[in-house]
Amino acid sequence: MTTTETPPLPTTGRRQVGDSVFAGAAKAAGILILVVLAGVAIFLVTEAAPAITAAPEDVPGGEGLAAYIGPLIFGTLLAAVIALVVATPLAVGIALFITYFAPRKLAQTLGYVVDLLAAIPSVVFGFWGIFALAPALVPLFGWLEDNLGFIPLFAGPASSTGRTMLTAGLVLAVMILPIISAISREVFRQAPALHQEAALALGATRWEMIKMAVLPYGRSGVIGGAMLGLGRALGETLAIALVLSVSGGITFNLISSGNPSTIAANIALNFPESTGLDVNTLIASGLALFVITLAVNMAARYVVNRRADFTE
C-alpha cells in the first residue's frame, strides 16, 4: 500500500460546514412548525378581532357574537357527542373482534378494510349521507316519533328528508369509527400476553380473559382514542354541511328538520359568499372551534401518553 505522508488532523475552522448547514436546516424546519402553529393562532385572532369588538347589531343575526356562535357551538357539540356515543362501543367491538375473535389469517385484512373507511374523503361521506343514509332513516324517524316521542330527543315532527341531527351524527360516527378502532386495536394488541395466558390457564373463557386481562389494561387507551375521534368529529365540515338541513337554533330534538348548524359546516356554507364583517365573524367562530378542538386533542394526548409512560 502506498504510504503517503498524512496531513495533520484538520481543525474546527473548515470542518463540517455541511454539518452545520444541514443541522441548521433541520432545526429551522422544526422551528417553522412552531411558527406555523403560532401563525394559525395569531392570524385567526387578528382576523377575528373586528368581529369580537364590533357592535352587537352589526354582527350577523343582530344580537352579538355570542348569540351567533352559541347555537353553532351547541350544534357542533351535539353532533360530535352523538357520533361518539354511537362509534365508541362499535369501535371497541371491532377492535376486539379483529384482535381476539376473527380467524388469525383474516385479521390483518379485516383491519385494512376498516381502515379503508378512514381513507374516504369527507365530501363523499356527505353525498352518501344525503342520498343513501338519510332516506333509509326516514321510516326509523317516523317510528321513533310515534313510539318514543315522549323522549324530548325524538319529539319530532320527524323530518321527511331524513337530513337531521341524528343522521349527521351517524355519518360522523362512521367517519370516526376507524380512528377509535385503530387506537383500541393498538392498545389491545399491547396488553401483556402473560396476564392473558395466566387467565386462560385458570380456565377462563375467552370473554373472561378479555375482561380480566385486556380491558383494564386498554381502558385509558380507548378513552384517549375516543377523544381523538371526538376532536375529528368536532372539526368535520363537509359531511355535515351536506347532510344537515339547517334552520332554527338550539334544540335537543334530533329527528326534526329544524337543526342548529355546526361551526365548521356554517363556515363552509357561508364563507364563499361573505364579505366584510361577515368574514370576520366566521373566522371568530373558527377561532372558537380551534380552541375547542385544541383542548380536546391535548386532553386526549395527555391520556394516551400517560398510558405510554405507565406501560414502560
Partner 1 sequence: MSTPTPTAPSRPEAAPEFDLAAESGNRLPRFAGWGLFVLGALLAAAPTALLGWSTGLFVVLAIVVGTVVTWGVSRAVEGRRKSTDRLVTCLVSSAFAIAMVPLFSLVYTVVSNGVGRLDAEFFTSSMVGVIGEGGGAYHAIMGTLIVTALATLISVPIGVLTAIYLVEYGNRGRLSKWITFLVDVMTGIPSIVAGLFAYALFALLFGPGVRLGVAGAVALSVLMIPVVVRSVEEVLKLVPNELREAAYALGVPKWRTIIKVVLPTAAAGLGTGITLSIARVVGETAPLLITVGITTALNVNPFDGRMATLPVYAFYQLTQPGVPPEFGINRAWTAALLLIILVMALNLIARLISRVFAPKTNR
Partner 2 sequence: MAKRIEVSDLDIFYGNFKAVEGVNVSIEPRSVTALIGPSGCGKSTFLRSLNRMHEVIPGARVEGKVVMDGQNLYDPDTDPVAVRRQIGMVFQRPNPFPTMSIYDNVVAGVRLNGGRMKKSDTDAIVERSLQSANLWNEVKDRLDRPGAGLSGGQQQRLCIARAIAVEPQVLLMDEPCSALDPISTLAIEDLMTELKDRFTIVIVTHNLQQAARVSEQTGFFNLNGVGQPGRLIEFNPTEKIFSNPDVKATEDYISGRFG
How many Å apart are CA 144 and CA 155, to the nearest integer?
8
Nearer to partner 2, 4 or 53 (CB): 4
Q: How far is the CB of 241 from partner 1 (least distance, A)?
A: 8
According to the binding rule CB under 8 A, does residue 23 interact with partner 1?
Answer: yes
Cα angle, residue 132 at apex, residues 128 and 136 outer, rounded to 5°: 145
6-45: contacts with partner 2 (CB under 8 A): 6, 8-13, 15-16
According to the binding rule CB under 8 A, does residue 275 interact with partner 2?
Answer: no
50-69: contacts with partner 1 (CB under 8 A): none
Nearer to partner 1, 243 or 254 (CB): 243
Residue 56 site contact among partner 2, partner 1, none (CB < 5 to 8 Å, cut-off depends on kind): none
CB atoms within 10 A of CB 245: 19
Residue 16 Ramachandran class (φ > 0 left, ψ -120 to 50 alpha, else beta): left
Nearer to partner 2, 10 or 103 (CB): 10
Residue 9 site contact among partner 2, partner 1, none (CB < 5 to 8 Å, cut-off depends on kind): partner 2
87-126: contacts with partner 1 (CB under 8 A): 89-90, 92-94, 96-98, 100-104, 110, 113-114, 116-117, 119-126
Q: What is the DSSP string of 118-145?
A: HHS-HHHHHHHIIIIIHHHHHHHHHHHH
Q: How far is the CB of 99 from partner 1 (least distance, A)?
A: 10
**What grid cell was written down for 170?**
351517524
How many Å apart are CA 93 and CA 226, to the nearest integer?
13
DSSP state of 32: H
Nearer to partner 2, 9 or 119 (CB): 9
The 3-class SS string of 237-302 reads: CHHHHHHCCECCCCCCCCCCCCECCCHHHHHHHHHHHCCCHHHHHHHHHHHHHHHHHHHHHHHHHH
Q: How far is the CB of 266 from partner 1 (least distance, A)?
A: 10
70-89: contacts with partner 1 (CB under 8 A): 89
167-186: contacts with partner 1 (CB under 8 A): 174, 177, 181
Nearer to partner 2, 7 or 203 (CB): 7
Stretch that binds partner 1, among 53-61, 63-71, 217-225, 292-300 (CB under 8 A): 292-300
How many Å apart are CA 44 and CA 34, to the nearest integer?
16
